[in-house]
């Protein structure tokens, strides 16, 4: 014959174990959702980088840099510990990229008339840095 306290204690332990397991499964799902949203936004920014006109590219780059920095801050805690150091390095590299780093050449050194500034190398660099961020964040 069972004791009522033993039965209620076993039921209480079962409920607590169920809550812990359910919470753990929810955390894993939340992490995967955050990372997939992050990768989607980075992919969208990467695809946009090829379609921006040269005249608007520096302004767009600064805005995208701020957007990516915000997204990185949100998702960094979801990155696995083994990849977090690589992710932080890629984030710092993207964050430290300046406008002078994305220009094809220095326009001020040319005699008059000056050529139109182009950003082909900058587009490739931005796309490479975004690819590196995506590679570091994928589970």
Q: How far apart are CA 96 and CA 114, in angstroms?
A: 28
Main-chain dihedrals φ then ψ at residue 106, nearest 5 degrees = -85, 110
Domain assignment of residue 127, yes or no: yes
Domain assignment of residue 47, yes or no: yes
Domain assignment of residue 21, yes or no: no
Q: What is the pLDDT of residue 111?
A: 62
Q: What domain count does the chain have?
A: 1
Domain assignment of residue 60, yes or no: yes
Domain assignment of residue 59, yes or no: yes
Q: What is the pLDDT of residue 49?
A: 85
Q: How far apart are CA 38 and CA 49, in angstroms?
A: 17
pLDDT digits (tens, 9 = 90+) for 75-133: 888 888 888 899 899 888 888 887 667 766 665 665 655 555 667 778 888 888 899 99
Domain assignment of residue 41, yes or no: yes
Domain assignment of residue 7, yes or no: no
Domain assignment of residue 42, yes or no: yes
Q: What is the mean pLDDT of residues 10-25?
A: 77
Domain membership of residue 122 as a residue range: 35-137
Mean pLDDT, the chain, as a whole number?
80
Q: What is the pLDDT of residue 27?
A: 65
């Amino acid at each position: 014959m069972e004791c009522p306290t033993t039965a209620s204690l076993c039921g209480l332990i079962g409920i607590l174990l169920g809550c812990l397991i359910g919470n753990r499964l929810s955390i894993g799902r939340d992490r995967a959702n955050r990372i997939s949203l992050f990768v989607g936004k980075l992919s969208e920014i990467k695809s946009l980088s090829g379609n921006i006109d040269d005249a608007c590219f520096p302004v767009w780059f600064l805005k995208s840099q701020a957007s990516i920095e915000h997204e990185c801050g949100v998702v960094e805690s979801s990155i696995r510990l083994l990849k977090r150091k690589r992710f932080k390095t890629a984030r710092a590299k993207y964050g430290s990229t300046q406008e002078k780093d994305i220009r094809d050449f220095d326009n001020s050194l040319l005699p008059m008339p000056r050529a139109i500034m182009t950003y082909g190398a900058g587009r490739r660099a931005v796309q490479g840095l975004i690819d590196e961020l995506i590679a570091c964040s994928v589970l």
